[in-house]
Chains A and B, each alone.
Chain A
């Protein structure tokens, strides 16, 4: 007897929906063993995560605070995914967006609140977009692997921001900490309910809506879908795939850049070392988990927000390193990929091999 694989004729919607849920479940289960190995009771830890992230109004607001940059970055990465382009550089694009917004906030001299916010937004949009656009041009015109370029540019962006906050932009009154001066009130987003939650969250939801309409209703969305589905067919139909590749990577980076704007204007009110603790990487998982949907990005980003808030409290309670969250995210992806396999194929028994 031997097991062979067979492609399923039609993909079952039931499986499609349950697979991501199941893979998160299995990942939690396996991560439990790693927690056990480092001396933490996983049940207590998971309870702690739920209570901290969802158990109180404040916890929920913190979850939304974390979800905000994740929604932006996740939308950016998933836009590129639609065209089979891999933007692994959302992290760097967040930093660049934050840098652009900070530059406007500190040095533009604008006093009007709305004008200031608009200028910061545009600066972040452009900085993030151009940063990713470099990879876009390289990919569109010379077929340079965008995965490697966007990724290496993360390191450059982070070092660039470090250069600024350790050097020229350092707050003279900051006790030598690597951060800039605080923004004026004109450069701050509205905060709500006495929590850290700010209007960036609603901007993120709006952004998801715009992107949904863009992809599902406009001619550009159609073009992106065709190119993403079959680049040869798109060229054959007369679409300019080069322009599209650049435009999509630019937009993808620009949206991630808005996350940088939202972080400095809504939350930190200054630029500082480590402004994003890896939101750009988490965004890749969000985009992959959400498959093709902007709405999916919002939902998964919220889930990841829960994990991040919970992860912070694990760090405080059990001194677990924050990076543990990465291990968990890696596990989710592994199990999701494995689940995909069983969505597409089914196992079948056949008679075994025998020959002369």
Chain B
């Protein structure tokens, strides 16, 4: 019972994890991206269509990354190069993503593919209780583990990562040290968006191998909230995503068991939970040294005289 629940937790948490990691990369460089929901949809559709047309899951995932990389570059262009309002641009990206995937996804509705299958890692998957949930999953889940580590390593052990964090904290400081603020920000937005797209593709390639219009159902927004919960750290994002996955898994479990509680009420739980978590983590952030990148949401204009 617990094992099944834990397994469902990881499955439900993985798309959110990818999306949260992508959003963290964006925000670390100082750009708020509220387009996560739309990007996930673009990734989901691109991943599904790529796999459906080519027959290869790898092609699907790569296509999902590329499509959201391109969609993300719209946001990057507007917020970095054109110094536009990050909130409005992100909302526009979400709307655009919802609309464009509905339009182009019309032909994919009802099509089927063979999704990702479980690959047990020898040895590790035999660990009692957690072995099956974490090490008898599909390849994308393992990739998400790797990504958590790589992002942490990038930010805290490489010079590029240090520069990117500095760009998000104090762009003028990075600029005077000779780092191009716009280059780092542009890369953070586009690459971050790419990982968000893989999160979307997880939905259409692994969770339920099909394309459904608006299939993200608010997960992108939950990811945006989890970034704050994770205080911009990738290992904590993992924790947050699985916490959310756990709530979802339990809610599904309750439904399957056929409780008297309405399905609609149960479906509210993850959103309510996310708001509560958001409040708690915001309050906590203000008490202990705030870890929010100080340049978050502010366009950088070198010649702006303050």
Contacts and interface: CB of A to CB of B under 8 A. Distances in A.
| Complex A–B touching at CB under 8 A | yes
Interface of A: 6-7, 34, 37-38, 86, 88, 138, 142-145, 147-149, 151-153, 155-156, 159-160, 162-163, 166-167, 281, 284-285, 288, 319-331, 333-334, 337-338, 340-341
Nearest to A322: B102
From DSSP, what is the main secondary structure of chain B's interface residues? helix
Interface stretch (B4-12, B52-60, B155-163, B267-275): B267-275
A228 B279 CA distance: 23
Given A86-B87, A337-B82, A153 B275 contact: yes
Contacts of B222: 152
A329 B217 CA distance: 20
In the complex, which range does the number of interface residues on chain B fall in?
35 or more
A93 to B, nearest CB: 15
The 4 closest A-B pairs by CB, nearest first: A327-B99, A330-B96, A326-B99, A333-B92
A329 B213 contact: no
B148 interface: no
Contact of B278 (A34, A145, A320, A325): A145
16 contacts: A7-B304, A34-B103, A138-B279, A142-B283, A151-B221, A152-B271, A152-B274, A155-B271, A163-B265, A323-B213, A326-B96, A327-B103, A331-B96, A333-B88, A337-B85, A341-B83
Interface in B208-254: 213-214, 217-218, 221-222, 224-225, 228
Interface in B97-136: 97-100, 102-104, 106
B150 interface: no
Contacts of B82: 337-338, 340-341
A288 B99 CA distance: 19
Contacts of B93: 330
A139 B168 CA distance: 23
B262 interface: yes
Given A38-B104, A159-B267, A159-B268, A145 B88 contact: no
A325 B99 contact: yes
A23 B102 CA distance: 23
Contacts of B78: 334, 337-338
A38 B271 contact: no
Interface in B274-288: 274-275, 278-279, 282-283, 286
Given A142-B283, A324-B103, A341-B83, 7 more contacts: A88-B91, A163-B264, A323-B98, A326-B95, A337-B82, A337-B88, A338-B78
B99 A144 contact: no
Nearest to A341: B82
A148 B222 CA distance: 8
Contacts of B225: 145, 148, 152
Contact of A321 (B97, B106, B264, B278): B106
Nearest to B83: A341
B20 interface: no
A156 B274 CA distance: 11
Contacts of B103: 34, 38, 320-321, 323-324, 327
Contact of A327 (B96, B214, B265, B278): B96
A310 to B, nearest CB: 14
A166 B93 CA distance: 33
B34 interface: yes
Contacts of B214: 323
A120 B27 CA distance: 43
A156 B228 CA distance: 20
Greatest chain A CB density within 10 A among B83, B100, B279, B304 is at B100
Contacts of B88: 284, 288, 333, 337
Nearest to A151: B221
A7 B305 CA distance: 11
Nearest to B107: A38
Nearest to A139: B282
A280 to B, nearest CB: 12
A159 B274 contact: no
Contacts of A325: 99
B74 interface: yes
A156 B221 contact: no
B99 to A, nearest CB: 3
Greatest chain A CB density within 10 A among B74, B84, B224, B274 is at B84
A138 B277 CA distance: 12
B89 interface: yes
B92 A337 contact: yes
Contacts of A338: 78, 82, 84
Given A138-B279, A156-B271, A337-B85, A330 B265 contact: no
Interface string B137-165: 00000000000000000000000000000
A143 B285 CA distance: 10
Nearest to A320: B103
Given A163-B265, A327-B98, A334-B74, A147 B92 contact: no
Contact of A145 (B106, B228, B272, B304): B228
Nearest to A334: B92
B70 to A, nearest CB: 14
Given A159-B264, A327-B103, A321 B271 contact: no
A77 to B, nearest CB: 11
A155 B218 contact: yes
Contacts of A160: 264, 268
Contacts of A138: 279
A20 B83 CA distance: 17
Contacts of A38: 103-104, 106
Contacts of A86: 87
A80 B93 CA distance: 21
Nearest to B304: A7
A323 B212 CA distance: 13
A324 B272 CA distance: 29
Given A38-B103, A320-B103, A149 B264 contact: no
Contact of A284 (B89, B91, B97, B303): B91
A334 B89 CA distance: 6
Contacts of A6: 303
